[in-house]
Amino acid sequence: MATAKELSDFLEAVERRAFKQTAYAVRDDHAALDIVQDAMMKLATKYADKPLAELPMLFQRILQNTMRDYWRRQKVRNLWTTLLSSFGGSAEGGDERDPLETIDVEDDSDEPHAQLERSQTIKLIELAIQKLPARQREAFVLRYWEEMDVAETAKIMGCSDGSVKTHCSRAVHSLATELKKQGLDKLGITGSIAMSKSLKS
Amino acid sequence: MLNTHENHTNRMTAEFEDSVSDMNQPTDAELAHYVIDLLDDNAQHLTAVTAKRLSVARSLAVSQLASQQGLNHSGHVLARFGDQIERHRIMSTAIAVGAMLLAFYAAQHFGFNSNLEEGDAFLLASDLPPEAYADKGFDTWLVSKND
């Protein structure tokens, strides 16, 4: 059973990642904060009697379920909005735009070139992650960011190990394709990875 | 012949250049780890407002846990009391039965005493003296007189 101090330390360690992951999924920072808070409260209320070692997996499971609840509510809300807006006039038709084309390129000449390049790369990566199908993003985040094994990820996602591997592989491939399309050399990714490889070797 | 050799050399050169280019290209796994490193780093640089909001959410969750654990503690006290009762169920039953028997005996005892008191009062209030009831020949005399 986790004490208040242990729970506090655990949440402090995961809250930022949880927020970013949720923000990528729901694309709304305020909603993401609400979802993370809900997940924290549910963990504290319903699973306080569980041992500390089980908290990471439980928290991820709660977080994913809370996101799904949010999507369900959004779906119902969107349905009504669409129905009501169909009486009020036509939409602008901006849904088909590629979000990668809408990035504001910061043109701040005072900022160092590397920092600018890095921030642009992060923006591109974040958009590429947001563009991933929900299940692929979930699998990618849990496997690579939360460093969970296939079985744990499968348990959280409620699917088989094979499905997790497929989702992960497709997610990484989609990300790679998207980033290669933008030009890895241009983004400085190739150079950075090559440098880190040479440092490791 | 010379043309064929030249074509072969060109093809070999192209393949070598492709392989060198492929070696420089990161694998999917390397790319994934690179992406995660960037995202992790980026997650540590949230705005102050977002960080504050997360901190408040965490505090709420922790205080919720603390209050829940306080409630559980008082619940444990009641549960312990209940356990004691459960453990001494037989003894409690025996005590209850004993108390009932004692009450019954007391009721009987005090009831008998009150009957005695009533008898005494009757004798004292009667026209005949109490010695008349103690006389052995009195009953015989009473019957013969009635006849």
- Name residues whose C-beta falls within 8 Å of residue B138's C-beta, 6 or more positions apart in sequence: B132
Sequence letter at residue B50? T
Predicted confidence pLDDT, tens digits, chain A (201 residues): 678 888 899 999 999 999 999 998 888 899 999 999 999 999 998 887 888 888 999 999 999 999 999 989 988 888 888 877 777 655 444 455 555 555 544 444 455 676 777 778 888 888 888 889 999 999 999 998 888 899 999 998 999 999 999 999 999 888 888 887 777 655 556 666 666 656 555
Whole-angstrom CA distances from A33 to A36, A67, B8, B13 are 5, 11, 62, 55
A134-143, B73-82, B83-92: least confident range: B73-82
Judging contacts by C-beta atoms under 8 Å, the chain A residues touching residue B34 are 189, 192-193, 196
Q: What percent of chain B has pLDDT over 70?
A: 68
B28 touches A at CB < 8 Å: yes
Helix (H, G, I), strand (E, B) or coil at A94: coil
Structure token pair of residue A1? 């059973």
A44 and B32: CB-CB below 8 Å? no
- Using a CB-CB cut-off of 8 Å, the residues of chain A touching B46 are 16, 19-20
Q: What is the ipTM of this complex?
A: 0.72
Residue A20 confidence (pLDDT)? 92
What is the number of H-type helices and E-type strands within chain B?
Answer: 6, 0
Q: Which residues contact A139 (CB under 8 A, 6 or more apart)?
A: A153, A157, A164, A167, A168, A171
What is the maximal distance between C-alpha atoms in chain B? 173
Q: Which of B37, B42, B46, B68 to mutate to test the interface with A (most CBs of A within 10 A)?
A: B42
**The pLDDT of residue A105:** 47
Predicted pLDDT at A42: 93
| pLDDT at residue B5 is higher than 70 | no
Q: Kindly state whether B69 is in contact with chain A, defined as any CB-CB distance less than 8 angstroms.
A: yes
- Backbone φ and ψ for A102, nearest 5 degrees, come out as -100, 10
Q: Do B26 and A193 touch (CB under 8 A)?
A: yes
**What secondary structure letter does DSSP report for A49?**
T
pLDDT of residue B1: 53
Lowest mean pLDDT segment, chosen from A40-44, B87-91, B96-100 = B87-91
Q: Of A13 and B15, which is predicted with more confidence?
A: A13
Residue contacts between A and B (CB atoms, under 8 Å)? 113
Phi and psi torsions of A155, nearest 5°:
-65, -45
Contact criterion met (CB < 8 Å) for B58 and A11: yes
Is pLDDT of B20 > 50?
no
Share in percent of chain B as helix, strand, coil (round to 5): 90, 0, 10
Mean of pLDDT values over B118-126 = 78
Question: Could you give all domains of chain A from N- to C-terminal order, each with its CATH number?
Answer: 1-85 (no CATH), 111-201 (1.10.10.10)
Question: What is the Cα–Cα distance from A50 to A70, expressed in whole angstroms?
Answer: 26
Q: How far apart are CA B20 and CA A128, in angstroms?
A: 28
Based on its alpha-carbon atoms, the radius of gyration of chain A, rounded to whole angstroms, reads 20
Alpha carbon distances (Å) from A89 to A74, A97, B13 = 21, 20, 62
Structure confidence at residue B58 (pLDDT)? 93
Q: Do B40 and A196 touch (CB under 8 A)?
A: no
- Quote the CA–CA distance of B87 and A48 in Å, as a whole number: 29
- Confirm if A90 and A48 have CB atoms less than 8 A apart: no
Burial class (CB in 10 A: 0-12, 13-18, 19+), A168: buried
Quickly state the pLDDT bin for B129 (edges 50, 70, 90).
confident
Using CA atoms, how far apart are residues A177 and A171, in angstroms rounded to an integer? 10
CA distance A128 to A99: 9
Residue type, B4: T
Distance between first and last Cα of chain A: 43
